Structure 1
Amino acid sequence: ILHQHEHEVWYVQFSNKGDYLASSSRDYNAVIWT
């Protein structure tokens, strides 16, 4: 569960090396997870 988003998550993608995860949601927020 990604608590930083207030609505459902629409997209997630790992970086090429797998060090980061990017997520975006219906509330138009994008988060880079380290």
Structure 2
Amino acid sequence: MIILLMVGKNLSEEERRKEEIRKLLILIAMARM
């Protein structure tokens, strides 16, 4: 998870937004387990 956060800083705004959504989905998926 930490790696994803670090990578997000080097992306463009649009890419970054997609990463944010992906992170949220991952967190939700983990919370359900």
- Structure with more of its chain in helix, by fraction: 2
Which is bigger in relative contact order (C-alpha 8 A, separation at least 6)?
1
Q: Give the structure-1-normalised TM-score.
A: 0.22
Structure showing greater radius of gyration is 2
- Structure with more of its chain in strand, by fraction: 1
